[in-house]
Structures are given as C-alpha cells and as structure tokens.
C-alpha cells in the first residue's frame, strides 16, 4: 500500500515517499540524482529518453526534444515527432512514467498510487490535464495537490508545531505562486493565493541567453550564429548554469564558440539583475497583491516566509521580499514540494481505509492501517484527522451582453471569486435575457486566465456552455438566476434557472479541448509502446 508524491515540475521533477522511519525521503533517479530534468527526447519512433541525457541532446537535435511542456498543460496544443502526434498530457505522461519506473527500480516495488503537485494558480483545465497525464502513465492518481500546500505540509512536519501563518513564495522553473497558509495541528488552510503560470526561472535563463547572444554578435558581426540551433542551445544551457552560479558568486565567464569565432563573455551579478529586474518586479507585484488580499482577511504578520523552488535562491528575490517588509528563509527549495506531496499521499491513503469524515475509525482498522504503513497508531489517527482546506484559484463567471457607451459588446460577469474558501457555493445571481422574444438562453462559463480579475473576454477563457431551449418568447431582461458551486477537489457545477418558466440547466464543467476518455485510453496505449529510459 505504498504511496508516492510526485513534483511534476516545468524544468525539474522528483519523487518522494515516506521511508521506514516515517520521514519523507527523495527517491533518486537512474543516474543517482534527486531531480530529473523535465525534458523528453524522442530518440526513435520506439525509444524515448527522459532527463539529463535528453537535455544534453537538445543541443544537437532540438526538433526531437520537448521541454517546458508544463506551460502547455490544459491547452489545445499538439506536437508531432516521428509521425506520432503528442499532447501535453502524453508528453507529461512519459516524464511521469520514467519517474515512476526509476523510483520502482530503486525501491524494488511498484510505484502506482501517487499524488501529483500543481501550481496553486493552475486552473480547472490544467489540473484536469495533470490528472489525465498520470492516468496515461498508468498511475493511480489519488489526488492533485497545490505545490505551496505540499511545501506547507513538509514545513509542518519539521517545524516545532503549534499554529502558524506562513507566506510561501514559490518561484519554480516555469511557474510562480504566492500563497498565504495557516498551519495548525489539525489543518492546513490556504487563506489566499495568486500567481502567474507563465513566469519562472526559464524566463531568467532566456534573458541571459539573449544577452550572451548580443555580446557574441557584437564581437563577431556578420556571423550566422543567431540562426544556428545548436549554438543557441549551448547559450541556453550556459545561461542556466551562470544563473545558478551567480546566486553564490559575483561574476562568471562564459566561453562561446561558433565556427572559428570565440568569445569570453563576463557576466556580473549586477548585470544579470539589471537584465532581469522586470521579471523580479513582476513577482513583487504579485506579492504585493497577495499581501493586500491577506490584509483584507485580517492577516498582516507571518511567522515564516518560505522560499520554495530552485529559482528562489537568487539574491534578488531575497532583496525584493525584504524591501516589502518580509524576512524570507530557504525551505528545502528543490525538494520540499515532493516531500510534502509524499506526506499528502500518505494522508490520502489512510483516509481511503477509514470511515468518512465525522466517523470514528474502529481500533482494529486503525491498527491494521498502522501495521501496513509501518507507522505508529497515534500517527495514523493524527494524519487521518489532518484537513487541507484550499481556495478557488481563479474567478469564474458568465458571458453577458454589455451596452455601456452606446455600443454592444460582450464582457464577463464573475460570479465565483478567486480566493473563496473551498468548498464554495454562491447565492443565485440575477441576470436577464439580452433581446426581446428570446426562445432560448445560452449560458457560457468562463474562467479568469490573466493574473488579475478582468471583465474583458481576452483576459478569460471559455471552459463550458449549456443551453436552455424551448422557451416561449420572452421579453428583454426576463430574469435568470445563475449560481456556482465548486467542490473541494475543484469540480465546478453551475445551475441556471429561467424564472418565468422555471426551466433550468445544470452544467458540470467538462474541460473544452481536454482529452476525452477515449483519447486518454489511446494515449495510454501509445505511451506504453515506448521504451523509456533516462
């Protein structure tokens, strides 16, 4: 009944479990490292390489290598390699399969029951896609858990106990979140969250790689280096290394070679921070917004400010947070999320074997679970009672006709607001028919896609719709009530009622553009045919 936590990262991923001592531990991959680059190399139509070697091959065969696929999760995105079409889910499944197979070989047991982490700011589509990636990989996904929640669980396990309020600044390779969490012996409660899932360490790498290219071209005008994929890949790899080194050192030198031309390009920490100042400020803007939201809920002080994600090591991060009055500290930045996910997986596995919430587990059941998990009975009871309460990550609403300013256009009226505690249910919100003599009503559900709530269509994403039809001709502005309900697991339900006829509509959000059950099955069959290695 072993369970595992998987941190499926944009740039690096890792797996953890609860070891024989009851502590979370990282399971090393095939090369013996804690983390695996989230990079897939399609070596042939039958063979796939995942990880460090795939990342190295990217320099010479970029058309056969896929990276940063997490940024495409939940989107209608497709890439074809060796004549085989792949979705973000199927590519992520290849990464998950390598992680699971390597961990299984290391431990000598099958890795099947898992919890997979996602950024707190991931929406419905991205979470759904992540779960399906696990299914395609042949895993039993017990749950999807937010990365800062996982980090908080790990923090809770190693802290002195008691009730604390923590601020989590999570800057990973491709995503960024800020989350305020209350941690107590009974509960992990998310107060509010914000973020940008298109902002991460890879963007810092890109800025530095562009600078290296500019410096090389300035020294060697007329060269075709800017059009050479292998040279650009070498700059990208060099930029990532320099970024890491500049967190400890004041300057580094990069040796660039193309054709017969060479350059030694010196990069100082000061120059790097100048190149990336706008990126750091974007994280500061989101941090300020989160602090304001927390203050609106009565929270103005924090017991700890945790830095999570490898990119949070940059000194500029500490400086900007201190400028906002926060006192950050490192919190096992690369591994905390996976370790917390392992703990969450253990909690979920225990709950499966115990009565529903509110019921008292028989002593013999608790003892049996404790024996199976090789942990004390008291710990089983404590973990089973641990609640994780999260919030709505983004706002949800409906598309309406807006006639302000003398012209007719569409906008989004948000009904369920971001940071509402889950489970959530709104009071019915009154709308009206847009035109005279309407005989049907289209209800479109939209989700906030930008960093802040906005009524503009381009700042939201259409995720579902339904139709109330067969109505008698209704006058303009005939009343319709619409309410939203979101479960703790993020499942969204919408209820719309036309009040004159009482005809109604129930929508359980099925993600537009997501994989169907048939597509998941087909992708699982396709992925299973590959020989996957590290």
Q: Which residues pair with 307 in a beta bridge?
A: 169, 330
Mean pLDDT to the nearest integer, 101-128: 91
Q: Which is more confidently placed, 433 or 229?
A: 433
Say if residue 359's pLDDT is above 60: no
Q: In a 3-state reduction of DSSP, which class is residue 280?
A: helix
Question: Has domain 396-502 been given CATH number 2.60.34.10?
Answer: yes
Q: Name the nearest CA neighbour of 520 among 248, 200, 131.
A: 131
Range name among 85-89, 311-315, 404-408, 476-480 with the lowest pLDDT average: 404-408
Instruction: Give the span between the Cα atoms of 45 and 412, in whole angstroms.
Output: 45
Mean pLDDT to the nearest integer, 90-111: 95
Buried b vs exposed e over 293-312: b needs ≥16 C-beta within 10 Å? bbeeeebeebebbbbbbbbb
Mean pLDDT to the nearest integer, 483-493: 88
Instruction: Give the span between the Cα atoms of 534 and 524, in whole angstroms.
Output: 20
Say if residue 262's pLDDT is above 60: yes
Q: In a 3-state reduction of DSSP, which class is residue 512?
A: coil
Structure tokens at 254: 């990069």
Q: Which residues pair with 461 in a beta bridge?
A: 447
Instruction: Give the span between the Cα atoms of 223 and 110, in whole angstroms.
Output: 52
Share of the chain above pLDDT 70, in %: 95
Residues whose CB is less than 8 angstroms from the CB of residue 95 and which lie 6 or more positions away in sequence, other chains included: 8, 13, 36, 38, 40, 50, 69
Q: Which residues pair with 474 in a beta bridge?
A: 438
Say if residue 331's pLDDT is above 90: no
Say if residue 362's pLDDT is above 70: no
Q: How do the domains of the chain map onto residue ranges?
A: 201-275, 396-502
pLDDT in tens, 41-51: 999 999 999 99
- Give me the half-sphere count of Cα atoms (radius 13 Å) on the Cβ side of residue 397: 23
Say if residue 101's pLDDT is above 60: yes
Mean pLDDT to the nearest integer, 75-94: 92
In this structure, the strands spanning 304-308 and 328-330 are parallel
Say if residue 406's pLDDT is above 80: no
- In three state form, how does the secondary structure of 365-408 look? HHHHHHHHHCCCHHHHHHHHCCEEECECCCCEEEEEEECHHHCC
Residues whose CB is less than 8 angstroms from the CB of residue 130 and which lie 6 or more positions away in sequence, other chains included: 8, 73, 92, 116, 118, 122, 144
CATH superfamily of 201-275: ATPase, substrate binding domain, subdomain 4 (3.90.640.10)
Q: How confident is the model at residue 388 (pLDDT cuts 50, 70, 90)?
A: confident
Say if residue 453's pLDDT is above 70: yes
Q: In a 3-state reduction of DSSP, which class is residue 486?
A: strand
Q: How confident is the model at residue 160 (pLDDT cuts 50, 70, 90)?
A: low
Mean pLDDT to the nearest integer, 162-189: 91
Say if residue 449's pLDDT is above 90: no
Residue spans of beta strands (DSSP E) within 304-386: 304-308, 328-330
Q: What is the pLDDT of residue 171?
A: 95
Q: What is the pLDDT of residue 317?
A: 96
Distance of CA 468 to the CA centre of its chain: 35
Q: What is the pLDDT of residue 361?
A: 60
Do residues 5 and 344 make contact, with C-beta atoms less than 8 angstroms apart? yes
Q: In a 3-state reduction of DSSP, which class is residue 169?
A: strand
Do residues 24 and 339 make contact, with C-beta atoms less than 8 angstroms apart? yes
């Amino acid at each position: 009944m072993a369970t595992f936590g998987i941190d499926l990262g944009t740039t690096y991923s890792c797996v953890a479990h609860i070891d024989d001592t009851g502590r979370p531990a990282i399971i090393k991959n095939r090369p013996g490292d804690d983390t695996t680059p989230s990079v897939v190399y399609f070596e042939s139509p039958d063979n796939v390489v995942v990880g460090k070697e795939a990342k190295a091959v990217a320099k010479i065969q970029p058309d056969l290598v896929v990276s940063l696929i997490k940024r495409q999760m939940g989107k209608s995105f497709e890439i074809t390699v060796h004549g085989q079409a792949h979705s973000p889910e199927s590519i992520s499944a290849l990464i998950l399969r390598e992680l699971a197979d390597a961990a299984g070989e290391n431990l000598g047991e099958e890795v099947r029951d898992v919890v997979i982490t996602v950024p707190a700011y991931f929406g419905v589509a991205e979470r759904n896609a992540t779960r399906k990636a696990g299914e395609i990989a042949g895993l039993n996904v017990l749950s999807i858990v937010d990365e800062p929640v996982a980090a908080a669980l790990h923090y809770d396990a190693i802290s002195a106990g008691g009730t604390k309020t923590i601020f989590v600044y999570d800057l990973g390779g491709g995503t960024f979140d800020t989350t305020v969490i209350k941690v107590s012996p009974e509960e992990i409660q998310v107060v509010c969250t914000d973020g940008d899932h298109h902002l991460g360490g890879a963007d810092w790498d890109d800025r530095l790689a562009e600078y290296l290219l500019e410096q090389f071209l300035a020294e060697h005008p007329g060269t075709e280096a800017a059009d050479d994929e292998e040279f650009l890949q070498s700059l990208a790899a060099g930029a990532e290394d320099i970024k890491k080194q500049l967190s400890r050192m004041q300057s580094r030198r990069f040796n660039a070679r193309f054709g017969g031309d060479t350059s030694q390009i010196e990069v100082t920490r000061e120059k790097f921070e100048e190149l990336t100042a706008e990126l750091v400020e974007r994280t500061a803007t989101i941090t300020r917004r989160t602090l304001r939201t927390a203050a609106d809920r009565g929270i103005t002080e924090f017991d700890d400010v945790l830095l999570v994600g490898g990119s949070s090591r940059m000194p500029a991060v500490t400086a900007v947070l201190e400028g906002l009055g926060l006192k950050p500290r490192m919190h096992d930045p690369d591994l905390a999320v996976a370790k917390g996910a392992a703990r969450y997986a253990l909690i979920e596995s225990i709950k499966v074997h115990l009565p529903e919430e509110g019921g008292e587990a028989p002593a013999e059941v608790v003892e049996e679970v404790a024996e199976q998990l090789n942990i004390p009975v008291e710990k089983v009871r404590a973990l089973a009672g641990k609640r994780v309460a999260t919030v709505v990550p983004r706002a949800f609403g409906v598309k309406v006709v807006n006639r302000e300013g003398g012209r007719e256009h569409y906008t989004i009226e948000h009904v369920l607001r971001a940071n509402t505690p889950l489970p959530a249910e709104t009071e019915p919100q009154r709308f009206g028919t847009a035109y005279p003599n309407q005989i049907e009503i289209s209800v479109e559900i939209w989700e906030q896609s930008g960093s802040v709530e906005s009524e503009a269509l381009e700042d939201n994403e259409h995720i579902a719709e339904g139709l109330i039809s067969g109505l008698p001709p209704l006058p303009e502005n005939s009343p319709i009530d619409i309410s939203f309900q979101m479960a703790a697991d993020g499942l969204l339900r919408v209820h719309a009622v036309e009040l004159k006829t009482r005809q109604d509509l129930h929508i359980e959000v099925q993600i537009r553009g997501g994989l169907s059950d048939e597509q998941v099955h087909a992708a699982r069959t396709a992925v299973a045919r590959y020989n996957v290695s590290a």
